[in-house]
Every structure is written in C-alpha cells, then in structure tokens.
Homo-oligomer: A and B are copies of this chain.
Amino acid sequence: MARLKAPQRKEQLLGVATRVFAKYGYDATTTASIASAAGVTEPILYRHFGSKQELFVAIARAVSARTLRHWKELISDIDDPAEQLREIAGQFDDHLHELGDAYRVIHSALTTTRDRKVLNVLREHYRQIEAFFRAIVVSGQKKGVFRSVEVKTVCWHLINTGLGYAVVTQNLAPFETFDAKSAIEFVIRGLKA
C-alpha cells in the first residue's frame, strides 16, 4: 500500500476502526484486527493512536462534533425553536445514514463495555447533545412559545427519541417502527405554551 502522510493515515485508520468496531463491537475488537484491516502493522497503528481506547475516543468525539456542527448549520437560519426541532427531525434519517457505522459503535459500546475511559467519552457525548437541545428549549421558553416544563425532561425526550430510532432502525430493520417526524411533533405539542 502506498505510504500515506500522517493526517491521511490517521483519517484512514479512524475510518477502518469505525467499520471494524461497528461490525464486531468495541469489546470484541483488537488493535491487531484494526491494523490488519487497514493494511498496516500494529506499530504503525500505535504511532497514531496509543490504544484501542484512544481510537474509540477519537471516533466518539468526531461523532459529537459532526452531529453538533450539522445541527447548528441546519437551524442557523431558523428563528422558531419548534421549526428548529422539525428541521433536525426531518434530516435525521440522512444524518443517521451518513454516520451509520459511527453511531453503531457508540450504541454498542454504551450497552456493552465496562471500559471507564469509553464510558467517560459517552457521558461527554450525551452532555453535549443535551446542552444543544437545552439551548433550543430555553430559547422557546424565553420567547413564550414553549411552556415552562422541566428542561432536562424535554432534552432527554429528544435524546431518547433519537437513540430509540437509531438502534431500532439500524438493528431491527425491516421492522415497522415510529416515524421520527411524528415523534418530534408529539414533543412539540407537549411543549407548546
């Protein structure tokens, strides 16, 4: 294989690690299998990522960052907080498709691993998603379009909707499940002042 420059090699290793973790789960994957799937030796892998944990941390942080960047872009031209939530829900299938393997890795690690560093980065991920939704809900409350419900409860309704939708559509398909847009309409109706 042609020799890649460091940033490209790092990117390639992350992509390969995401696919291998998604296929076998975080716990069952070894750095040896990632190196082999990437066509490099383990010492080369270790030059870029010190451990399996570090690979996971990089994948999870990239998912958090890409998700938040994507959502912020989606809502940047929208004033109405309810419309912001609708826009995110409307694009959720595409987002999930684009980050499919990375979300599989996150959800499989969430339900399976006991690795403390991995669990810490997952806590970080959910805190960031919660903070993003919190800003939308609080802004709606300040504008008087949302009623004064406990914000954490609403944020987690949104997170749970995304989590449930992702794990069910990714893993149980074909399976008749709910539609993400209707789910968000239900939350918005519950929020309306």
Residue ranges of A at the interface with B (Cβ–Cβ < 8 Å): 24-25, 27-28, 104, 107-108, 110-112, 119, 122-123, 126, 149-150, 152-157, 159-161, 163-165, 167-168, 171-172, 175, 177-179, 182-183, 185-187, 189-190
Contact of A28 among B27, B110, B111, B189 (CB under 8 A): B27
Per DSSP, chain A at the interface is helix
**A89 vs chain B, min Cβ distance (A):** 12
Is there an interface contact between A186 and B190, defined as CB atoms closer than 8 Å? yes
Nearest B residue to A178, CB-CB: B156
Chain B hits for A27, CB < 8 A: 24-25, 28
Nearest B residue to A159, CB-CB: B164
Is there an interface contact between A111 and B171, defined as CB atoms closer than 8 Å? yes
Chain B hits for A185, CB < 8 A: 153
**A75 vs chain B, min Cβ distance (A):** 22
Q: Please, how many angstroms separate the alpha-carbon atoms of A28 and B183 in the complex?
A: 35
**A70 vs chain B, min Cβ distance (A):** 21
